[in-house]
Amino acid sequence: MTLKKIKDFIFNNETDLKDRLFVLIMSSLVLSWGIALIEIIITGAEWFTIAALSGGVVSVILIAIISIRKNKIKIGSLLITIGYCFIYVPLTFICGGGIYGDAPLWFLFGIILINLCLGRRVKIALLLLYWVELKALWHLDLRRPDIILQNDEMMAHVYSFIAMILIGLALSIIISFWIILYDKEVERSKKQKSEIEILNKAQNTFFSTMSHEIRTPINTIIGLNEMILKENISDEVAEDAINIQSASKLLLNLINDILDMSKFASGQMELTPANYQTGNMLSEIVGMLWLKAKEKGLEFKVDVSPEIPAELFGDEIRIKQILINILNNAIKYTKEGSVSLHIECGDAQDGITNIIYTVTDTGIGIKKESLPYLFDAFKRVDIDKNRYIEGTGLGLSIVKQFLDLMGGKITVNSVYTKGSTFIVEIPQKIISDKKIGDVNIDNRSSIRKQMTRMSKFVAPDARILVVDDNASNLLVISKLLRETNVKVDTVSSGEEALKKTLNSFYHVILMDHLMPEMDGIECFKNIKNQTGGKCKESKIVALTANAGSDNRELYMSEGFDGYLSKPVMGEDLERELYRLLPSDLTFVQGTDQQIYEETISWMKNERKKKAVIISTESVADLSQEIIDKYQIAVLPHLVCTAEGNFLDGVEIEANGLLDYMSDVSHKVTTKAPDVSYIEAFFAKQLSTANNVIHLSISKTLANSGCMAAMEAAKAFDNVTVIDTGHLSSAQGLVVIEACRLAEQGKSPQEILKHIEKVKNKIHSSFIVDNMEFLARYNQVSSRLANTARSLMARPVLILKKGKMRVGKFYFGSREHAWKKYIESILKFPSGIDKRILFVTYVGLTGKDMEWIKEQIEKNMSFDKIYFQKASPVIAVNCGPGTFGLLTRDAETKDRLI
């Protein structure tokens, strides 16, 4: 291999960096050894030293050449490194004066060789062996110096000096290579960056041009179709026209998605907020999606809270795009059933309210493992099932990116094969205190009513000039303005426009941007500077198919008075003209109330969803009074007998179960619901609430449903499961605290943070009358149960850090044991919350409860004492004669009940 070939190989960017580094280091090593060989020949070294070094040089060259030709550079690197570190270095050490020769310097080069040439695992192993070798050699020099061939003082200095020069030379070559390589990479990165910028610019130009070219014919279709709807036509023709309108707008939304994806990729996407009518926006969305739902035989429901502000400030175009994408997906992935849109708003703070859009479908749902990839561009989940469903794969990715820009969020709750719910929250500024209110009118007929509405104003003395090189666009604008009685002149070029403005005055000029010969911006400047021109003070509006905030900023910076994006809707055009025309020229038609009702006539009011719903399990042992007061959702456990499985507390109650169990041949087991059942439970709760916080029994207890609930929650973004570390009414105390916080309007995050603190301040314990039931279900051994019964011992079960254990035993009669238990729990009254005490029991009589209450009141006074019958699941494990005092530390002044 010649020097030129070596150089070309080292600086070839297409060759792997490790391979180039290998050739560079081997070349440096051969060069160093070659110089060292000349050195020892000149200094008259022993023949075997010369032969060994010569052999080393030849071996390195041969291994390097073979490794490169056979493409086995990793093996070659390993062989040469082993040969250098474990043959050359020891020989140099022994034959070159030990620690007083040049071996220590060559040893350092070996460390560099290992780190640069080898992979991670091999590198670590060889470094360890190398250090072991070093220790052995140093020990040899110390203990057996007679084995080391010593040089005289002069030669020792010469060898060390030359070794230092050679190693320095090799390191200089390697470092220089890295510097050159770094400079080349920087240069290449700059070149690639420049190429990418040019490519992005070309791509954006292409998308912008494509958008312009497609929007122009769509503008004609939508505009003329709108004029058809304003005519006196049959219902059948009107139906067809509405369908054309909906399909055209969906096509327009797809074009926007493609264009926006390009802008997001290049970091050029910006929002364009403005005031907008909530009713108008929602009407347009429903009008577009109703047809698609109808074609698939789906029911399309729209529920709107009457509390939503009628006018908001935000990017209406992007919000529509978000909702259209989500609704379009819901319709596409639903074969039968319904798609619903629910809209409500949160409480206003500093003039900002959170608008919450909930889209629910009964479609195929989303697998849990697919949820993390849901918002990736061009990625479609569950391809096997969805391969026949049309779509670009851009919609949800764009939705997520727009929401990030708006400071909003999107959450997904889905049960595979059952359906999905997408919840979108967008903070918006409130412009008007006026609310949408309660309206209940048929959906479809009102859409047509809105589209066939009369013009909002007339201006018979106003003059408008429309400049556009497309004849269809001129026709559309003229017809859209026909009912306003505005006098409209049209021209197809900038040159013709200048002729008109030289002799005639126009109140407003609608100017297309991309025109041949003279574009809209150039024409705008010429009109403003036209000598003798009569339109220098006219309002000029950019009318263009180049959509986007960057184009809006361009027109505003050039001095345009307004901006309308094609395809232009009649209502948008009228609104812009009404804004720009002198007030004495315009005459409003109809009352404000008529116009307002038109925009919201299709809406149907529904009760507002709860922000947070608290759910728990039947083993929380809460009274029906508390469950009803806080509207707590209860997930029942199962009680399994030979006669069948029964829902805990719903299909079976504790006393009946205890009677059944009095026959020892009757076996009863309990179990938590499975994941699919809990998923359905969570999905049901999310139909009435935006978030679910589920407080579960301690996961360390037998038959706990905590782990299954956590697994089920993975299908939902808005469900959080908390392991309370408790059971029975102690768990109920945690649930009550969570409900209280939810009633105060606390966010899910605030509730979770507080509950994590509270659950450690609640204490669970039970005194068991006998251990027979515990033994029957293998909670304790039969031998222990028999011994306890013989000694009249009654155990106290304590739940601590989520684990149940026997705390202590009380001996003697039942009343004596109960009294001692009550005294021990209420021993320090100052540390117990006096507002509420839960006494949860199994199989007690009314007389028993009266006696227990008297003993409690002798030790401590409580505002409220709840005697709560334990659930059948608790009863199975404890048996009759069991009760527990469930308390909370006295640290907070918040009311529980």
Q: Which two tokens stand for residue 188?
A: 């290449």
Whether residue 3 is predicted with pLDDT greater than 70 in this model: the reply is no
* pLDDT digits 0-9 by tens, 450-482: 445 557 789 999 999 999 988 888 888 888 888
pLDDT for 722 = 92
Rounded to the nearest 5 percent, the helix, strand and coil shares of the chain are 55, 20, 30
The residue with greater pLDDT, 577 or 568, is 577
Q: By the 8 A CB rule, do 838 and 856 touch?
A: no
* Local structure of 26: helix, strand or coil: helix
Please, what's the b/e burial string for 574-592 (b: 16 or more CB within 10 A of its CB; e: otherwise)?
Answer: bbbbbebbeeebbeeeeee
Nearest CA among 895, 347, 281, 423 for reference residue 630: 895
pLDDT band of 279, cuts 50, 70, 90: confident
pLDDT for 357 = 93
Region class of 337: left (phi > 0), else alpha (psi between -120 and 50), else beta:
left
Radius of gyration of the chain (CA): 41
Beta bridge partners of 887: 763
Those residues with Cβ within 8 angstroms of residue 569's Cβ, 6 or more apart along the chain or in another chain: 222, 226
Helices 17-42/153-230 angle, 10° precision: 170
Nearest CA among 497, 537, 503 for reference residue 515: 497
Torsion, Cα 92 94 95 101, to 10 degrees, reads: 70
* pLDDT digits 0-9 by tens, 823-876: 999 988 888 888 888 898 888 888 999 999 999 999 999 988 889 888 877 777
Torsion, Cα 750 753 757 763, to 10 degrees, reads: 80
d(CA 33, CA 163): 10
d(CA 595, CA 716): 41
Q: Which two tokens stand for residue 439?
A: 């309206």
Whether residue 412 is predicted with pLDDT greater than 70 in this model: the reply is yes
* pLDDT digits 0-9 by tens, 714-743: 888 889 999 988 878 888 889 999 999 988
Please, what's the b/e burial string for 468-485 (b: 16 or more CB within 10 A of its CB; e: otherwise)?
Answer: bbbeebbbbbbbbbebbe
What is the residue type of 203?
Answer: Q
Q: Which two tokens stand for residue 227?
A: 């004029």
d(CA 151, CA 397): 74
* Local structure of 426: helix, strand or coil: strand
Q: By the 8 A CB rule, do 305 and 344 touch?
A: yes
Q: Which two tokens stand for residue 400?
A: 């997520």
Whether residue 539 is predicted with pLDDT greater than 90 in this model: the reply is yes
Cis peptide before 306 (omega within 30 of 0): no
Nearest CA among 894, 628, 612 for reference residue 751: 612
* pLDDT digits 0-9 by tens, 609-646: 788 999 999 888 888 888 888 899 999 888 888 777 77
Question: What is the average pLDDT score of the chain?
Answer: 80
Output DSSP code: residue 604. B
Task: Compute CA distances 145 → 17, 133, 552, whole Å.
Answer: 43, 17, 87
Sign of CA dihedral 307, 309, 314, 318: positive
Beta bridge partners of 839: 867, 885
Percent of the chain whose predicted confidence (pLDDT) is above 90: 16
d(CA 392, CA 380): 9
Beta bridge partners of 551: none
Beta bridge partners of 804: 799
pLDDT for 388 = 37
Give one DSSP letter per residue of 651-703, joined into a string.
TB-HHHHHHHHTSTT---EEE---HHHHHHHHHHHHTTBS-EEEEE--TTSTT
Output DSSP code: residue 350. T
How many degrees, rounded to 5, is the angle at CA 385 between CA 382 and CA 387? Answer: 90
Output DSSP code: residue 826. T
pLDDT for 352 = 92
d(CA 550, CA 269): 8
CA 135 to chain CA centroid, nearest Å: 55
CA 273 to chain CA centroid, nearest Å: 24
pLDDT for 597 = 45
Phi, psi of 844 (to 5 degrees): -95, 150
Those residues with Cβ within 8 angstroms of residue 467's Cβ, 6 or more apart along the chain or in another chain: 490, 491, 492, 493, 494, 496, 497, 509, 510, 511, 512, 515, 520, 523
What is the residue type of 781?
Answer: S
Average pLDDT over every residue of 48-74: 77
Query: Count of alpha carbons within 13 Å of 880, Cβ hemisphere only?
Result: 13
pLDDT band of 783, cuts 50, 70, 90: confident
Region class of 382: left (phi > 0), else alpha (psi between -120 and 50), else beta:
left
Beta bridge partners of 339: 300, 361
CA 216 to chain CA centroid, nearest Å: 37
Beta bridge partners of 800: 803
Q: By the 8 A CB rule, do 596 and 279 touch?
A: yes
pLDDT for 383 = 43
Nearest CA among 873, 881, 872 for reference residue 772: 881
Q: By the 8 A CB rule, do 247 and 291 touch?
A: yes
* Local structure of 502: helix, strand or coil: helix
pLDDT for 895 = 42
pLDDT band of 15, cuts 50, 70, 90: low
Phi, psi of 504 (to 5 degrees): -130, 150
Query: Count of alpha carbons within 13 Å of 354, Cβ hemisphere only?
Result: 16
Sign of CA dihedral 822, 824, 829, 835: negative
Among 242-246, 411-415, 461-465, the range of highest mean pLDDT: 461-465
* pLDDT digits 0-9 by tens, 310-357: 889 998 888 988 998 899 889 988 988 999 999 998 888 888 999 999
Output DSSP code: residue 227. H
Nearest CA among 430, 433, 413 for reference residue 422: 413
Give the helix/strand (H/E) hosting 839: strand 837-842
Give the helix/strand (H/E) hosting 797: strand 793-800
* Local structure of 813: helix, strand or coil: coil
Pairing of strands 762-767, 719-723: unpaired
CB atoms near residue 559 (< 10 Å): 11
